[in-house]
Amino acid sequence: MRSLLFVAALFAVGACAATASDAVTPTDSAVCITIGPSVRPNFATLHPGDTLRASASLPSCTAGAITPTFRWASSDSSVALVDSLSGLIRARSLGTATISAAATQDRSVKGAMLLVVSQ
């Protein structure tokens, strides 16, 4: 079965006129960016009025990689607000919210953290 899959993969590559040098390697930035950003912290508990600055980063896959920028959003602005440029979170009221970071180069590349606001 494995040899059948390997032959199918070779056929598909050949159909696209790709060469061995066209193969995607783990260090290709296109592969790395699809992994998604790592958001830190990945979980936090705050009290109403507290603030926290979240950060996001993508894996550094190539020496010449451009440092990505992110846009931040809150799933529930009544629970927590987040500055879209800086990632500064301000807890507002009790509840939970997902704080997400999307790479500005490709908005489909997202990472997130869970925020709980409690007394």
Q: At residue 114, does pLDDT exceed 90?
A: yes
- Structure token pair of residue 111: 């990472």
What is the C-alpha separation between 71 and 82, in angstroms, rounded? 10
CB 43 within 8 A of CB 80: no
Higher pLDDT: 1 or 96? It is 96
pLDDT at residue 59, rounded to an integer: 74
- Structure token pair of residue 45: 């508990």
Element spanning 15, H or E = helix 2-15
pLDDT at residue 31, rounded to an integer: 54
Span 61-104, pLDDT tens digits: 633 455 678 999 999 999 999 999 999 999 999 999 999 999 88
Quick check: pTM over 0.75? no
Chain centroid to Cα 52, Å, comes to 19
